[in-house]
Structure 1
Amino acid sequence: MTGTANAPLDSAECRSKTEDVLRLSVGELVEFACRSGDLISEHRHGGPTAAEGIRAHQRLQRKRPKGSEAEYRLQVELEQDGQAVALNGRVDILHPQVDLHTPVQLDEIKTTYVPPEVLGESARALHWAQLKIYGFCYGLQHQFTADTPVALKMLWHNLKDKKTYPESREFRWGELEAFTREALTTYIEWHRRWQAHRHAVRASARALAFPFPDYRAGQRELAVAAYRCLRDGGELVVEAPTGIGKTISTLFPAIKAMGETPLDQLVYLTAKNSGRQVVRETATRLHDRGLTLSMLEIQARDKTCACSLGLCSRDDAGICPRTRDFFDRLPEARINLLGKPLLTPEVIAEEADRLQLCPFELSLQMRPWVDLVVCDFNYVFDPLVQIHRLRDTSRQRALLIDEAHNLGDRARGMFSAILKRSDSRRAAAASKGSHPNLHRAIQSLVRALDKWVEEQRGSAGCPAENTAEISTAANFPTEEANNRELWITSLADGTPQKISAAVQKVLLVVNQLWEQGQLPPEDINDWLRSLFRYQVIEQLVAEQHRCVTRAQSATNPDSRWREQEVELLCLNAAMYLQQAYQAFHAVIGFSATLRPPGYIYQQLGWQQDAPYLALPSPFRSEQLGLFLCPYVDTRYRARDRAGEHLVELIARTYQSRPGNYLVFFPSYRFLQQVAERFTSTYPEVPLLLQESGSSDQQRAEFLQQFQSGNRTLGFAIMGGIFGEGIDYVGEQLIGTIVVGTGLPQVNEEQELLRATWEQQGQNGFDIAYRYPGLTRVLQTAGRVIRTESDRGVVILADYRFADPFYRALYPQHWQPHSCRNGQALSDALARFWNE
């Protein structure tokens, strides 16, 4: 054995030496302290799937010799550099020592798609590091001496040729101890830095006071309920009206809980960039009052990647130079960023530029070492891009979901996948010259799509026979309905097998390229992501999925190709959301529009006994003038006449008190129709129109027109960027006109939703159309009153708003006034503004 300074201790001795036992898995230790080299493998979503890896492990473990053990548990306690450490892991196969001449042997199984000799050296070294530390743990458990031999074998299993390539090495236990203790020293040095930061955060959190002189109405109630949930665990659903201050009312108690309970980290999800900005501003306000918390804001890869932004160029091998030797430069960046109060994309980018690191990957590497992570929904829920460490249970985390009303639709998209023939043909063309094997594999996928469509056409006779659940495509008000075919099939018997096999074949070729340090054509990256998503989703499909097959005649008369696509469509993601919640100690979902509760719980996977807190508005009812205009019919077939009424209604509203107004429409087409009529009738009033697919700069320019003192009349899309998550304070917006009830467009997805819920004995039309529409309306209306001094009007332009269904769901603070015609609206507006 080595000297007594680092001798192993039993549990009691460790606890007597230090109150803080560092509990660490071998995987965590290796990941942090033993990584070196390039980041190339981090850029891909492929590689052997978890299911493939498990199957390969089980096959090899079943073939182990008699007397050996599979999944042998290793757990040791020791002291290193004055720190008590509990180290644990599981080795794939253990061959115990059978005689004095044969050393103990530990086997580790690693699955690949290529022979081991072509794997990158950094990847091989990382796997060997794990096996070495397993060998150290086993020797410590059995009190080996420094000279005791330990045999280690790496079993590289190639999934392509179904062969295993063993690689054996023998070490003296003292060598393994030296290697492990060096890794532990690296980790412990960092751990102490991290713990010093955590102690400072907890102390400052305990001393933190609410950063405003008083609570608004409902704020204290929300803060108390949030704290109890965060302290005790479980779920909380909160409908908190606009202006109540949801961000501070949830973040403040969460931070207090971090100071007073075992809560380690907060994960704050928001669907909008504006939501992240509010969290940043709130954190800054708390920092100014003494809080030392560190916040990390994770921005989407395409807005962060230096290559995407033109800040660096890939080398001749197509690899970003910022990924070369990434893990060799990472420790310095990690030390520089630890404890900084705001790790915004700008701060991350500055450090990444200094050390020539990939900024997006640097932000992900800092994720475990901050107190508050602010990111989009997909980093927790999306199976393709989720950050798995945000869902591990080794630390106690709380999940705060802002604007939770967006989560249901977003989650259905995350658990759906689509393959298009046209995209696949373009990918094949892009690969033809440079990657012949990949080209052939993609061509096989195109043929599999063709074959599947032919099978649907032959087995169903005609599309309508196979779409009994929904309205036929011809009944949808779309221009493509007359030249397309549609089939809806259940997935009770699994996904289309020939397509699945073809997808797997393509991904096998792609993974072989990656593991050999090569890259597929850059032009097909987006298509490859859709392919990865299809592979992941087909392994997750359940009864809430349908297979939707579409065949579309060529729109270009010069082309003989048909568009064909296969979609694995998720109709309800509640089950997957519920599974994700289980990784968190506490989950709080909040929004201004979470009604009715029964619908929300069904869509978002909340436990039926989770508390539902509905708070009153903090504002006086007389601040908002709410006017119903039931003389307007905005249904699709009545829109020509509706246009005349709307032009007059908009003009009356604007002229009642000129200022900044927004008119929200259900579609761009309807928006353009009314805009043309309005401009023809009132050319003296300039219009500002939201454009489809506008850039971030165009959106900022649009919002810039809504300043106090301006007289801006803007037309925008309901449920879009300008109708949610933006604070128009004071005179920035004095009125909103909501055109129609916001119903989603009628299509096969919404009709499938309707039919599915009706089959379960519920009102499918309400769930698929009216409730989502109401959410859009309430969000849009909530833009007008944002502070105690705001005053403004909301016009609801549609006869359906007077229906008892909608009126029963109006917020408690709404006091609607019905106007039977345009003159009545003008009179009501005059009275409101003159009060």
Structure 2
Amino acid sequence: MSATYRVAVRALCDFTAREGDLDHRFTPAPSAREGMEGHTLVASRRGDDYLAELSLSGVYEEDGFAGLTVTGRADGFDPTANRLEEVKTHRGRLERMADNQRALHWAQVKVYGALLCAERRLERVTLSLVYLEIASGKETLISQDATADELQAFFAEQCQRFLAWAQQEADHRQRRDSALQCLRFPHASFRPGQRELAEDVYKATRTGRCLLAQAPTGIGKTLATLFPMLTAMPRQPLDRIAFLTMKTPGRRLALDALATLRGRRDTVEAQPLRVLELVARDKACEYPDRACHGESCPLAAGFYDRLPAAREAAVAQQWLDRDALRDVALAHDVCPYYLGQELARWADVIVGDVNHWFDSHALLHGLAQANDWRTGVLVDEAHNLVERARGMYSAELDQQRFNRGRRAAPKALARPLERLARQWQAVFKEAGAEEAGEPGKPTYHLLTTLPDKLVSAAQQVGAAITDHLGEHPEDASLELQALLFEALAFCRLAERFGEHSLCDLTRYGRGRAVLGLRNLIPADFLAPRFHTARSSVLFSATLSPAHYYRDLLGLPDNTVWREVASPFAARQLEVHIRRDISTRFRDRDASIEPIVATLAAQYQRRPGHYLAFFSSFAYLEAALMRFREVHPAVPVFSQTRGMPEAQREAFLARFTPGGKGIGFAVLGGAFAEGIDLPGDRLIGAFVATLGLPPFNDFNEALKARLTARFGQGDDYAYRIPGMIKVVQAAGRVIRSPDDEGVVVLMDDRFAQTGVRALLPSWWQLGSHASR
């Protein structure tokens, strides 16, 4: 090795000191905020000489190894008492803490002790584990004296356990970077537009900037983003690349591209690149009917004892998509999901959902912060990130779930639950929602302020349930746990409530109401995520206007926007605008006849497969019924409400080469983006809507908030989101340089200058516009 290998104290001890079962039974634990406040409280109780958050580091050297650098921050050191403290917050009785958890805590404080003695040339030190019970504020100190020699021996033992792995990791990094220095594009030539995109990604990665890249479908965006970032990886150097997707098909495309770049797995020519696919817990679980602990699940029993062998086998295999990871896990009798969580620490490229970086509890973002990774982030179909992020930073309190939890709660929790019930009624009264309304017709109420008294009552309920279950874990029913988790999530977001969010109440009938904290501007939450990444590349076929994404996602000021020229010629796509049709809500009934006539005329002119998109199922069903009445000979099929996956697959299976028929679908739904029907499987699309969100109290409040913040409320709340859906739906038609087809936009507003500016620049609207 030419340089030392760096590892954090926590990561070192996680690797060397964990043993026994995996145990994810519900145990009340402090939140991250409570943990930080607990550390601050302990420090405030110490003397003026107390050193909190003390940075320590040291190097372990051994023959044949350049060195292992261990770094971290000790929670506190009292030089007067010569006492080094490791602070851990907890809830409930301390004796319930697992032995292996306590062993991990002792390992950490001993390693810090060794580093402290070496740095300050101490002969001995008192080591203390400070356990702070959050509810009572009571400290329990467990202390032992240790000599510098004893601590150095312990430090050396941990380093020796980690040394072989560190050497392996350093060697792998060197081989990986050497291979990537010579990485070549896997095809004889780039597709039109592909090289341009790849060059922009490479420049952004090399300069550590954020890139917004709008590139048309069909040029191979996945390969054009992965290849340059991998090429830049050793030159930056990057520690990890995260390829983040919105849906499962995006992961599959990324894995296919990575397989092409790596080369065949069964040959020596394959790149030494570790690729990991992360999947959701419910999809990876082998025993969904079992609880996640050693007494219930055989893959949790002895998990940490078998983890080292499983980890070794996994990194040796290198290619770890869902199936390969499962094979390794089951071969070593460990849980596939938690093996994947562990391997996220050691993979070079991680492919997974966007929540792994952008969610409030994101795994990859947390690892990047803890280990100071230089991470390259690629976000596919990034036009969806605004809505996905809004969902990540929104929360609800469901009155029906509260009532179920209340019925299942022990009597000891009656008072805080009753207090919360009274606050529900107070919110109803203040919002004017005391009457339940007609069954099946929910009433919506926008609250002008956050109901602080209800939030306070929810916080008290969360604390009461947590404290009770800390003492009585046998009372942890599913209903009570669900109420607790919902209350905690709601209260965490309430603490950060501001101009980026609003509060609303939807009442569905007697005994059922939902109080929502709705995020409107995810920028305030996402900006730190982009700051953590060394470089971020967001790409999609629809990423304009750039200022919309810069503002709502909180992108850095130096973000670069690029539009890759389309490889498609205007002659490939006829674009017609029906200026004589209005799809405004008041004109829906009158629009049915001309829409049906337009569909039939185009189909008769050129029979084949088409998709017709509508703004709602009600609109779709009205048009479909009339079309069947007037043109019974034309094959038609339709998307339905709540369509299960098997029926969605059957819908897409209708689009066979050389087939004929019109599929009716909802704009923004499952068939409006992310599906690939090349050639004559799809030769045209009709869009009978601008895709504008409905005009209602919520969207008007969103508009007002966006106007106040950015001055463009109407565009940001209505026009731009609607046109993104339209362009995505129309983009299903031309998928390759050989495709030809037609798009018919049915609404007079498509002819407006501001709307036309949001359509792809390569479309020639004027020459094909119909009056």
Fold conserved between structures, TM > 0.5:
yes
* CA distance in structure 2 between the aligned counterparts of 1:500 and 1:550, rounded to whole angstroms: 20
Deviation at 1:527, TM superposition (A): 5.2
Deviation at 1:605, TM superposition (A): 1.5
Q: Does 1:139 align with 2:117?
A: yes
Q: What does residue 829 of structure 1 align with?
A: none
**Residues 479-490 of structure 1 correspond to what in structure 2 (within 5 A)?**
484=443, 486-490=445-449
Q: Which moved more, 1:495-504 or 1:233-242?
A: 495-504
Label 1:165 to 1:451 Cα distance change in 2 as closer, same or farther (>3 A).
Answer: farther
Label 1:706 to 1:479 Cα distance change in 2 as closer, same or farther (>3 A).
Answer: farther
Q: Does 1:454 align with 2:429?
A: yes
Q: What does residue 337 of structure 1 align with?
A: 314
- Conserved in 1, the CA contact under 8 Å of 2:360 and 2:393? yes
Q: Does 1:372 align with 2:372?
A: no
Q: 1:170 aligns with which of 125, 140, 145?
A: 145
* CA distance in structure 2 between the aligned counterparts of 1:791 and 1:363, rounded to whole angstroms: 43
CA deviations over 1:85-142 (Å, ceiling 9, x no partner): 22222322323376xxxxx422221111112111121222211211111122222224
Instruction: Give 1:547's aligned amino acid.
Output: C
- Conserved in 2, the CA contact under 8 Å of 1:47 and 1:511? no
* CA distance in structure 1 between the aligned counterparts of 2:591 and 2:439, rounded to whole angstroms: 22
* CA distance in structure 1 between the aligned counterparts of 2:562 and 2:769, rounded to whole angstroms: 33
Q: What does residue 805 of structure 1 align with?
A: 754
Label 1:171 to 1:348 Cα distance change in 2 as closer, same or farther (>3 A).
Answer: same
The 3-state SS of whatever aligns with 1:221 is helix
- Conserved in 1, the CA contact under 8 Å of 2:205 and 2:232? yes
The 3-state SS of whatever aligns with 1:582 is helix
Label 1:322 to 1:150 Cα distance change in 2 as closer, same or farther (>3 A).
Answer: same
* CA distance in structure 1 between the aligned counterparts of 2:400 and 2:631, rounded to whole angstroms: 45
Q: What does residue 12 of structure 1 align with?
A: none
Q: What does residue 772 of structure 1 align with?
A: 721
**Residues 608-757 of structure 1 correspond to what in structure 2 (within 5 A)?**
608-757=557-706
The 3-state SS of whatever aligns with 1:40 is coil
Label 1:259 to 1:53 Cα distance change in 2 as closer, same or farther (>3 A).
Answer: closer
CA deviations over 1:440-467 (Å, ceiling 9, x no partner): 6555433332233334449xxx99xxxx
The 3-state SS of whatever aligns with 1:338 is helix
The 3-state SS of whatever aligns with 1:580 is helix
Instruction: Give 2:193's aligned amino acid.
Output: G
Deviation at 1:779, TM superposition (A): 0.7
TM-score normalized by the length of structure 1: 0.85
Q: 1:293 aligns with which of 259, 273, 277?
A: 273
Q: Which moved more, 1:773-782 or 1:45-54?
A: 45-54
Q: Which moved more, 1:499-508 or 1:772-781?
A: 499-508
Instruction: Give 1:401's aligned amino acid.
Output: V
Q: What does residue 549 of structure 1 align with?
A: 505
Instruction: Give 2:384's aligned amino acid.
Output: N
Instruction: Give 1:114's aligned amino acid.
Output: G
* CA distance in structure 2 between the aligned counterparts of 1:202 and 1:484, rounded to whole angstroms: 59
Q: 2:160 aligns with which of 163, 185, 201?
A: 185
Q: Unaligned regions of 5+ residues in structure 2, if any?
A: 265-269
Q: Does 1:502 align with 2:458?
A: yes
* CA distance in structure 2 between the aligned counterparts of 1:317 and 1:325, rounded to whole angstroms: 7
Label 1:543 to 1:775 Cα distance change in 2 as closer, same or farther (>3 A).
Answer: same
CA deviations over 1:468-497 (Å, ceiling 9, x no partner): xxxxx99xxx9977x736142245xxx624
Label 1:343 to 1:626 Cα distance change in 2 as closer, same or farther (>3 A).
Answer: same
Q: What does residue 584 of structure 1 align with?
A: 533
Q: What does residue 372 of structure 2 align with?
A: 394
* CA distance in structure 2 between the aligned counterparts of 1:175 and 1:373, rounded to whole angstroms: 40
Q: 2:41 aligns with which of 59, 65, 81?
A: 59
- Conserved in 2, the CA contact under 8 Å of 1:380 and 1:390? no
* CA distance in structure 2 between the aligned counterparts of 1:513 and 1:219, rounded to whole angstroms: 57
Q: What does residue 104 of structure 2 align with?
A: 126
Deviation at 1:771, TM superposition (A): 0.5
Deviation at 1:367, TM superposition (A): 0.7
**Residues 108-119 of structure 1 correspond to what in structure 2 (within 5 A)?**
108-119=86-97
Q: What does residue 198 of structure 1 align with?
A: 173
- Conserved in 2, the CA contact under 8 Å of 1:593 and 1:778? yes
The 3-state SS of whatever aligns with 2:299 is helix
* CA distance in structure 2 between the aligned counterparts of 1:78 and 1:353, rounded to whole angstroms: 35
The 3-state SS of whatever aligns with 2:556 is coil
Q: Which moved more, 1:22-31 or 1:74-83?
A: 74-83
Instruction: Give 1:759's aligned amino acid.
Output: A
Q: Does 1:324 align with 2:304?
A: no
Q: What does residue 242 of structure 1 align with?
A: 217
- Conserved in 1, the CA contact under 8 Å of 2:416 and 2:464? no
Q: What does residue 267 of structure 2 align with?
A: none
Q: Does 1:759 align with 2:741?
A: no
Q: Does 1:211 align with 2:186?
A: yes
- Conserved in 1, the CA contact under 8 Å of 2:431 and 2:447? no
Q: What does residue 417 of structure 1 align with?
A: 395
Label 1:319 to 1:618 Cα distance change in 2 as closer, same or farther (>3 A).
Answer: same
* CA distance in structure 2 between the aligned counterparts of 1:781 and 1:580, rounded to whole angstroms: 32
Q: What does residue 521 of structure 1 align with?
A: 477
Instruction: Give 1:61's aligned amino acid.
Output: A
Q: Which moved more, 1:390-399 or 1:588-597?
A: 390-399
Deviation at 1:819, TM superposition (A): 5.3
* CA distance in structure 1 between the aligned counterparts of 2:650 and 2:10, rounded to whole angstroms: 48
**Residues 427-442 of structure 1 correspond to what in structure 2 (within 5 A)?**
427-429=405-407, 431-432=408-409, 437=412, 442=417
Deviation at 1:749, TM superposition (A): 2.6
Q: Does 1:382 align with 2:321?
A: no
Q: What does residue 828 of structure 1 align with?
A: none
Deviation at 1:181, TM superposition (A): 2.1
The 3-state SS of whatever aligns with 2:603 is helix
CA deviations over 1:205-262 (Å, ceiling 9, x no partner): 2222112222223222211111111111011111112222211111110010113331
Label 1:284 to 1:421 Cα distance change in 2 as closer, same or farther (>3 A).
Answer: same
- Conserved in 1, the CA contact under 8 Å of 2:462 and 2:488? no
The 3-state SS of whatever aligns with 2:234 is helix
Q: Does 1:94 align with 2:77?
A: yes
Deviation at 1:383, TM superposition (A): 0.7
Deviation at 1:384, TM superposition (A): 3.9
Q: Unaligned regions of 5+ residues in structure 1, if any?
A: 1-17, 99-103, 464-472, 555-560, 822-835
- Conserved in 2, the CA contact under 8 Å of 1:490 and 1:545? no
Q: Which moved more, 1:200-209 or 1:756-765?
A: 756-765
* CA distance in structure 2 between the aligned counterparts of 1:487 and 1:808, rounded to whole angstroms: 33
Deviation at 1:65, TM superposition (A): 4.2
Label 1:385 to 1:235 Cα distance change in 2 as closer, same or farther (>3 A).
Answer: closer
Q: What does residue 107 of structure 1 align with?
A: 85
* CA distance in structure 1 between the aligned counterparts of 2:412 and 2:330, rounded to whole angstroms: 37
Label 1:168 to 1:175 Cα distance change in 2 as closer, same or farther (>3 A).
Answer: same
The 3-state SS of whatever aligns with 2:89 is strand
* CA distance in structure 2 between the aligned counterparts of 1:797 and 1:714, rounded to whole angstroms: 17
Q: What does residue 220 of structure 1 align with?
A: 195
* CA distance in structure 2 between the aligned counterparts of 1:20 and 1:761, rounded to whole angstroms: 48
* CA distance in structure 2 between the aligned counterparts of 1:325 and 1:504, rounded to whole angstroms: 37
Q: Which moved more, 1:264-273 or 1:353-362?
A: 353-362
The 3-state SS of whatever aligns with 1:744 is coil
- Conserved in 2, the CA contact under 8 Å of 1:78 and 1:86? yes
Instruction: Give 1:184's aligned amino acid.
Output: C
Label 1:46 to 1:730 Cα distance change in 2 as closer, same or farther (>3 A).
Answer: farther
**What is the number of equivalent residue pairs in this alignment?**
763
